[in-house]
């Protein structure tokens, strides 16, 4: 049995999203896939997108057609984002939640980096969020719904070898915070979440210095959060209308230390990535 379906069967019945329409980007695997199945289990109808429509169709082949809409989409394509939203409205008639989950990562020192890689990450992680939010906003306002961004601790603390990733997540969080303030009296809730290390495919597809997929990583996945656990925390947080969620103790400590003791944070982060050993950092 698919582990996601198995996980849902074992969960107690939770219909907190009954009759809601949830739009999720980057939903063919990892956190996006888990969010979609968890939302379905809570009673939602779900619109999902990914660049690989074959993978998307395979992932959701056992879901009733009346509960799901699948769309091939690269979120860096602005017009395609509008088409996704329009076709979701055609099928379901409304949008209650937008979960901006699609994202890319990288592993390369800036001095070795072709800057097109940094631009590619900004196009997906930041501009993809902007395009989807702009397209869905009129419908979210109508439903007094939720706009969410899946961010990272890299959006609070710049990480070595992740200049493009950190830049895109800082930009996303700044955009979300400004938007939340603009929409303060509209009934729309804007939030972002920062998972810790998760057993998703984002590290295996991280881009190298020339834009090539890195595929291998030195990280121990046995100590990481599962996508299902991450999705559950996100949707529980949405229900409670949290402002932000930082999911791990390590993440919370990193943000706290970086705010109060910036120089110490530099040294601790450097030491961490030196130990990880996937960057050519001088000892």
Q: Would you state the structure tokens that stand for residue 130, as one six-digit string? A: 């902007």
Separation of first and last alpha carbons in the chain = 47
Q: Would you state the structure tokens that stand for residue 65, as one six-digit string? A: 């057609």
Q: Would you state the structure tokens that stand for residue 110, as one six-digit string? A: 């800036």
- Concerning whether 270 is annotated as a catalytic residue, the answer is no
Q: Is 82 exposed, middle or buried (0-12, 13-18, 19+ CB in 10 A)?
A: middle
Is the CB of residue 100 less than 8 Å from the CB of residue 76? no
Cα–Cα dist 108/202, whole Å = 15
Distances (CA, A) of 213 to 108, 157, 196, 216: 11, 24, 21, 9
Catalytic residue, candidates 131, 139, 156, 165? 165
Active site residues: 165
């Amino acid at each position: 049995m698919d582990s996601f379906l198995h996980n849902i069967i074992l969960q107690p019945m939770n219909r907190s999203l009954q009759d809601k329409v949830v739009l999720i980007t980057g939903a063919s695997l990892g956190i996006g896939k888990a969010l979609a199945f968890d939302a379905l289990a809570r009673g939602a109808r779900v619109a999902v997108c990914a660049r690989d429509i074959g993978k998307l169709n395979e992932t959701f082949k056992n879901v009733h057609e009346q509960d799901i809409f699948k769309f091939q989409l690269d979120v860096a394509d602005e017009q395609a984002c509008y088409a996704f939203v329009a076709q979701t409205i055609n099928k379901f008639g409304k949008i209650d939640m937008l979960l901006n989950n699609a994202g890319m990562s990288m592993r390369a020192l800036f001095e070795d980096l072709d800057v097109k890689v940094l631009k590619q990450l900004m196009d997906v992680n930041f501009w993809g969020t902007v395009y989807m939010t702009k397209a869905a906003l009129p419908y979210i306002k109508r439903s007094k719904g939720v706009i969410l961004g899946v961010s990272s601790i890299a959006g609070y603390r710049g990480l070595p070898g992740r200049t493009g990733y950190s830049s895109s997540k800082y930009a996303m969080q700044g955009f979300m915070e400004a938007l939340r303030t603009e929409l303060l009296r509209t009934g729309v809730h804007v939030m972002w979440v920062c998972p810790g290390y998760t057993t998703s495919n984002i590290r295996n597809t991280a881009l190298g210095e020339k834009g090539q997929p890195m595929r291998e990583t030195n990280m121990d996945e046995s100590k990481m959060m599962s996508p299902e656990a991450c999705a559950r925390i996100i949707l529980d947080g949405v229900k409670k209308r949290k402002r932000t969620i930082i999911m791990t103790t390590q993440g919370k400590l990193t943000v706290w230390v970086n705010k109060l003791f910036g120089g110490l944070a530099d040294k601790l982060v450097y030491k961490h990535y030196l130990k990880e050993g996937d960057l050519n950092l001088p000892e």
